[in-house]
Amino acid sequence: MKRVAVAAAVLWNESGSVLLGQRAPDTFYPGYWEFPGGKIEAGETPREALIRELREELGLELTAARIAPWLCRRHRYAHADVTLHFFQVWGWRGTPQPHVHAALTWQTPGAWSVAPMLPANTPVAEALVLPRLMVVSQVTAASRGAPVGSPAWHDAAARWAASIQAARTHGAVIAQIREKRLDPGAEAGGDAATACARLGIEQLVAIAREAGAERIVVNGPPEWAEAVGADGCHLSAQAARALLACGAGRPVAQDGMLLGVSVHDASERAVAEALDADYWVVGPVAATQTHPECSPLGWSRFAQLIAAPPVPVFAIGGLTAADLPQAHMQGAHGIAAIRGWLRGQ
Ligand SMILES: Nc1nc2c([nH]c(=O)n2[C@H]2C[C@H](O)[C@@H](COP(=O)(O)OP(=O)(O)OP(=O)(O)O)O2)c(=O)[nH]1
């Protein structure tokens, strides 16, 4: 089958809308909506092709410093096996003109008023509505293991809620409940411990919802995410590797549940890909108190590790909201942090 490589742009305007073009009547999939872009020619990089295509198709001059790689998706159409390099673009000169499209429209992701999109774009449209900021909990550790429901535990939980609220001033939030010692499946075991752990996680889900988190994932087995009414589960790199080793496939029980995986190196990236995770959390980018034993990747190794990711990536490790633009430029979808959200407030 013919292999085709394509570069396409998610152009963001100041109101948070993205530009779609409707394919012309004489093309393959006429009338379908797509992100502007086109085939990468011999000798071109995806970025060079993007700049050329948007000049030809829309009459725009992209601002080089405002173009960021984002996702790379492969889709097998009947006519060709297509690899799509999606970029996010925030800066250009000119007003988009429909030089090749039947129509152009600015659309708010998730509130699409046009359809259908090209089939390869369904996961891309979903990725566009995934929040950019992940706030990771650390309530048990921050309260020095105080029992669930105790005043010290509540204080730590309130600080976590404040972190979620602080992050929300920068955009939509995914809350990740990461309470290792509360893991209801942990070796501490016993019915009372399990019930208490479950209660703790349930309370944190309620607190995160109240604080305005758009999505909530639980770091632990998928059954627990489901049992406490979370929107998905997040697997540590170790848990993901163990699941894959027992020959299990993608471990998410219900449709629509998110699956996230932590990644620190290329072999863990391969595990996340094999499990068909919906997003990766990759780091540490900078030094962090949570993992003092890990040497930081720095942005350049981070960018190499995540190069051409099929799903959105959150950068983690010593980051604050101020790092979001830099994270985007390195190919990240967003950033994740435990402590960073209240810094500087
Ligand atoms: N530009 C763009 N192409 C996409 C998207 N999603 C998607 O599956 N594609 C596919 C459709 C095509 O197979 C290919 C884009 O090729 P193209 O627009 O340069 O060319 P084409 O197939 O329409 O036709 P032609 O240039 O060969 O005449 O990528 C998208 O969002 N934007």
Q: 323: Cβ below 6 Å to ligand 1?
A: no
Write down the pTM of the prediction: 0.94
Boundaries of every domain in the chain: 3-116, 133-342
Q: 169: Cβ below 6 Å to ligand 1?
A: no
What is the CATH number assigned to the segment(s) 133-342? 3.20.20.70
Pocket test residue of 6, 23, 101 for ligand 1, highest count of atoms within 8 A of CB: 6
CA of 6 to the centre of ligand 1 (A): 7
Q: pLDDT tens for residues 13-38? A: 999 999 999 999 999 999 999 999 99
Q: pLDDT tens for residues 310-322? A: 999 999 999 999 9
CA of 39 to the centre of ligand 1 (A): 7
Q: What angle do CA 83, 88, 94 make, to 5 degrees?
A: 115
Cα 104 from Cα 95, distance rounded (Å): 11
Q: pLDDT tens for residues 213-272? A: 999 999 988 888 988 999 999 999 999 999 999 887 787 656 789 999 999 999 999 999
Taking the CA of residue 120 as reference, the ligand 1 atom at the shortest distance is: 8
Q: 8: Cβ below 6 Å to ligand 1?
A: yes
Considering only the top CATH level, what class is 3-116?
Answer: alpha beta
Tell me the angle at which helices 266-274 and 237-245 cross, rounded to the nearest 10 degrees: 60
Q: 28: Cβ below 6 Å to ligand 1?
A: yes
Contact 232, 249 (CB under 8 A): no
Query: Measuring from atom 13 of ligand 1, which residue has the nearest CA?
Result: 82
Cα 149 from Cα 158, distance rounded (Å): 12
CA of 306 to the centre of ligand 1 (A): 25
Taking the CA of residue 27 as reference, the ligand 1 atom at the shortest distance is: 23
Say yes or no: do domains 3-116 and 133-342 share a fold: no
Pairing of strands 18-22, 61-62: unpaired
CA of 14 to the centre of ligand 1 (A): 26
Q: Which of 8-12, 206-210, 283-287 has the lowest mean pLDDT?
A: 283-287
pLDDT above 70 coverage of the chain, percent: 94
